[in-house]
Amino acid sequence: MVDQASVWQGGIIGLVTTPSKNSSERRAHLVQLAGDLFAEKGFRATTVRNIAEAAGILSGSLYHHFDSKESIGDEILSAFLDDVLAGYRSAVASTDDPRKAIEEIVRSSTATLSRHRAALTMLQNDWSYFSAQPRFGYLRTAMKEIEQTWVEQLERGKQTGVFRADLDARLVYRLLRDILWIPTSWRPSKGAGWSTDEIVDGLLRLLFDGITA
Amino acid sequence: MVDQASVWQGGIIGLVTTPSKNSSERRAHLVQLAGDLFAEKGFRATTVRNIAEAAGILSGSLYHHFDSKESIGDEILSAFLDDVLAGYRSAVASTDDPRKAIEEIVRSSTATLSRHRAALTMLQNDWSYFSAQPRFGYLRTAMKEIEQTWVEQLERGKQTGVFRADLDARLVYRLLRDILWIPTSWRPSKGAGWSTDEIVDGLLRLLFDGITA
Amino acid sequence: MVDQASVWQGGIIGLVTTPSKNSSERRAHLVQLAGDLFAEKGFRATTVRNIAEAAGILSGSLYHHFDSKESIGDEILSAFLDDVLAGYRSAVASTDDPRKAIEEIVRSSTATLSRHRAALTMLQNDWSYFSAQPRFGYLRTAMKEIEQTWVEQLERGKQTGVFRADLDARLVYRLLRDILWIPTSWRPSKGAGWSTDEIVDGLLRLLFDGITA
Amino acid sequence: MVDQASVWQGGIIGLVTTPSKNSSERRAHLVQLAGDLFAEKGFRATTVRNIAEAAGILSGSLYHHFDSKESIGDEILSAFLDDVLAGYRSAVASTDDPRKAIEEIVRSSTATLSRHRAALTMLQNDWSYFSAQPRFGYLRTAMKEIEQTWVEQLERGKQTGVFRADLDARLVYRLLRDILWIPTSWRPSKGAGWSTDEIVDGLLRLLFDGITA
DNA sequence: AATGAATGAGTTTTCATTCAT
DNA sequence: CATGAATGAAAACTCATTCAT
């Protein structure tokens, strides 16, 4: 579709040299490039120059699209959390069975996370940097909702007897949330070829049944 | 012996103001301070000035003790890996039962990790930075040995029927190793008061049996 | 062509305020300024701030144009050696007479050297610094070619009887090369007004005939 | 005589634990070590730590013997110039023949210079550094006397017909003085085995007769 | 939209020097 | 005499950001 547009533009006007990509597309493309670098090296370790080079422009030119490096980070992080929370909410809304809810949370998380590798790396690597800034206050808010969702489902599962009664819900939440985030942070190259499905299934099996035969 | 000497000096001469603290102690103290900061903010995000300030000296003065920031990192990382590998080796040497070996690896890891929080944070946050430098080549070597140890025990467990035959040993290793490392990265303040033992038990229970009742 | 364009722009549009000065001109200007300082104080003794101040900018701004102080040095030194070697090669190619070849080498050297005072000072003052670095390996290579050229001409001159048979070619080369470089290192202010020609003539007369009447 | 003193001290007092090497010997030894390093790398490029390491002590300990790095330089430079001037004065006093006087100056210089390689390197490399400081004002004074001596002899030679009448005395002085200093700056390793005598003879022959057959 | 030049505050590191022990 | 810890000023370099063109 992008091509369609550019062909059309080129056809009529006949003077446009750099056709395609209107403003918001260009912007999205830059966020994408930045995100890839953030995922690879972390937010702080990635320089504005790195991003500009990846885009084939000079670093100063980035400031036509964003007013700061942090606003790129903001865009990535808030999009991620919106997506995560939407998944959690619909997972909880979809069923009354805590085990199914958790299974759904895991599945939705996995899908969401694979779309937001950069955001996760940023949270893991540079949490102390972001969480200290008022601008990123929504990070804490969102994390609280995530925790609440898990704990609620685990507690309900304990009450209905689906989960072991001796589980410490908050402890298990912390472990599970972080466990869930692990595969996302694996570099593509190092994954030895596991598909997302394989990883999710392995993870679910591990969570519910352990490794014992 | 150092204590003996200082007590004696203090007793007889009565002039010793600073209670001993010889050269290597001072150095170790500085490494400790640096490590705390690295654990909190990551290696790159911690400045030499931060470390010096924590020690109550000027940044340049640190170079009396270390020839670079990296050499502090080196000291922390290599001590950590030496410790981890020693634990793994003795765990494997202590038993023939793969399940016991893994249990032992987990227990030794937990003990080791709590002594080396800084190192772990550094590996997680700044792996791309360190692993790119020849100086830190031993990181890759050590990680390979760690992987091999896990995979061997898991495979043997599968053969003897202790573990499920359908486990993907490398996948499970990756998950388990990272899972094991999770609690260490939790900030003390955020742990809501879990003791190391509680965490280890929760973890082992989770690994072997899952969360299902 | 660049000139064409700018003239055209200036002519038609009449808006161009700064009379061209494109990127590479600015860069060349900075190299020139740096070279003057290097010639005056030596490479190591000249700080990046010195250079920046001479250019009326801040020291960090220099890194927009060069990626290190050494790369400025590199530019100056390699340009010098390229020039010297070109002169030597064409001197040798221009004649079969060793005496004429040497005379030509001296004349070309003098011309070259006056254009590269900075480079010469750098080689004399900071040779141990540069020659220790792989990056400046070409310095040794070039010096070898220079030596070979001199020695060859001197030897041929001895065989054809133009030069005294008892000359130690390498010793004379070392003396002559260094002698040749002397006047260049004289500060303009101290030269008491000798023209280049006067110096060259004095030098040649000295070389060929000595000071005796 | 120095030994006499220290033996005597040891004999009478009987408490001196590190016998030999009294204070001034130790000091002279340190100056020697420092000089070697200055000759090799230049004054500024040599660090106080370098010197201390060469002496097997810590950098701070040097300040028991000298109150600053510059005072070491001072010691080396003033000793050199005293020596040079003494040689020049006795050369001039020894004869009425300008040619013999110059020959004697050359011979005395060569002897002096070989004893003061460090000083010469320091003057050549770091002249701008030293000459800018009031403390080293004697450098300019001494250089003036050196120039005067040469010029006088050359002028007298021109009048008596020993030297060519068209010599520019100051120009020739500048050339000859610098020429004379050249071989001293040659690294021992690079000299390809020329003895001091060979070099002096080569030089004198070159000066008086040129290279022409 | 993009360039290219620059800023300014910050980074790691170096080094002569001081001083209590 | 020597050590070991520290200072403080300066070095080279980095980087997010600004802005005229």
The CA distance from D210 to D213, in Å, is 8
Task: Report the nucleotide nearest the CA of residue B18, measured to C1'.
Answer: E21
Nearest chain A residue (CA) to B204: A210
pLDDT band (50, 70, 90) for residue B133: very high
What pLDDT is attached to residue B185?
76
Phi, psi values for residue C163, rounded to 5°:
-110, 155
pLDDT of residue D2 exceeding 50, the answer is no
Task: Identify all chain A residues contacting B208, using CB atoms and an 8 Å cutoff.
Answer: 210-212
Phi, psi values for residue D212, rounded to 5°:
-70, 145
What pLDDT is attached to residue A188?
63
Mutate to test the interface with A, among B123, B206, B207 (most CBs of A within 10 A): B206
User: In the CATH hierarchy, which top-level class contains the domain C69-209?
Assistant: mainly alpha
What pLDDT is attached to residue D92?
96
Which region among A52-61, C7-16, C129-138, D15-24 has the lowest average model confidence (pLDDT)?
Answer: C7-16
pLDDT band (50, 70, 90) for residue D210: low
For B45-104, write each residue's pLDDT tens digit. Answer: 999 999 999 999 999 999 999 999 999 999 999 999 999 999 999 999 999 999 899 889
- What fold does the segment set D2-8+18-64 form as a domain? Arc Repressor Mutant, subunit A (1.10.10)
pLDDT of residue D14 exceeding 60, the answer is no
Mean pLDDT in residue range B199-208: 73
Question: Is B88 in a helix, a strand, or coil?
Answer: helix
* Residue A57 CB in 7 A reach of strand E: yes
Average pLDDT, chain C: 83
- Tokens 């003539």 belong to C201
What pLDDT is attached to residue A213?
65
Mean pLDDT in residue range C11-16: 38
The CA distance from B81 to B94, in Å, is 20
Mean pLDDT in residue range C207-211: 66
Task: Identify all chain D residues contacting C183, using CB atoms and an 8 Å cutoff.
Answer: 174-175
pLDDT of residue B17 exceeding 80, the answer is no
- Tokens 């937990």 belong to B110
What are the extents of the domains in chain C?
A: 69-209
What pLDDT is attached to residue A167?
82
Phi, psi values for residue A163, rounded to 5°:
-110, 155
Amino acid at residue number C175: L
Contact check, Cβ <8 Å, B163/A212: yes
| Strand F bases within 7 angstroms of protein beta carbons | 1-21
Which region among A54-63, B6-15, C136-145 has the lowest average model confidence (pLDDT)?
Answer: B6-15
Angle of CA points B202, B206, B208, to nearest 5°: 120
What are the tokens at D93? 């006093």
Task: Report the nucleotide nearest the CA of residue A24, measured to C1'.
Answer: E1
What pLDDT is attached to residue B91?
96
For residue A6, give the H/E element and its range: helix A2-13
> CA C65 – C1' F15 distance (Å)?
15
What pLDDT is attached to residue B10?
38
Average pLDDT, chain D: 83
Find the chain D residues whose C-beta atoms sit closer than 8 A to any C-beta of C. 40-42, 44-45, 124-126, 128-129, 161-165, 167-168, 170-172, 174-175, 178-179, 182-183, 186, 192, 194, 198-199, 202-203, 206-213
Q: Who among B165, B167, B210 is closest to A208 (CB)?
A: B210
The CA distance from A61 to B34, in Å, is 38
* Residue C70 CB in 7 A reach of strand F: yes
Which region among A60-69, B147-156, D176-185 has the lowest average model confidence (pLDDT)?
Answer: D176-185
pLDDT of residue B35 exceeding 50, the answer is yes
Task: Report the nucleotide nearest the CA of residue A64, measured to C1'.
Answer: E1
3-state SS of chain C is CHHHHHHHHHHHCCCCCCCCCCHHHHHHHHHHHHHHHHHHHCCCCCCHHHHHHHHCCCHHHHHHCCCCHHHHHHHHHHHHHHHHHHHHHHHHHCCCCHHHHHHHHHHHHHHHHHHCHHHHHHHHHHHHHHHCCHHHHHHHHHHHHHHHHHHHHHHHHHHCCCECCCCCHHHHHHHHHHHHHHHHHCCHHHHCCCCHHHHHHHHHHHHHHCCEC
CATH number attached to the domain at A70-209: 1.10.357.10
Residues 4-33 of C with CB under 7 A from strand E: 22-23, 26
pLDDT of residue D199 exceeding 70, the answer is yes
Contact call for residues C76 and C139 (beta carbons, < 8 A): no
For residues B51 and C162, the model is more confident at B51
What are the tokens at B55? 């020690």
CA trace torsion C125, C128, C134, C136 (10° rounding) = 20
For residues A212 and A10, the model is more confident at A212
Question: Is B211 in a helix, a strand, or coil?
Answer: coil
Contact check, Cβ <8 Å, C42/D194: no
Tell me how far apart the 2 most distant CA atoms of chain C are, in Å. Answer: 72
The CA distance from D35 to D120, in Å, is 10
pLDDT of residue D208 exceeding 50, the answer is yes
Closest CA–CA distance from residue C19 to any residue of chain D (Å): 37
pLDDT of residue C199 exceeding 90, the answer is no
* Residue A2 CB in 7 A reach of strand E: no
pLDDT of residue D202 exceeding 80, the answer is no
> CA D29 – C1' E15 distance (Å)?
23
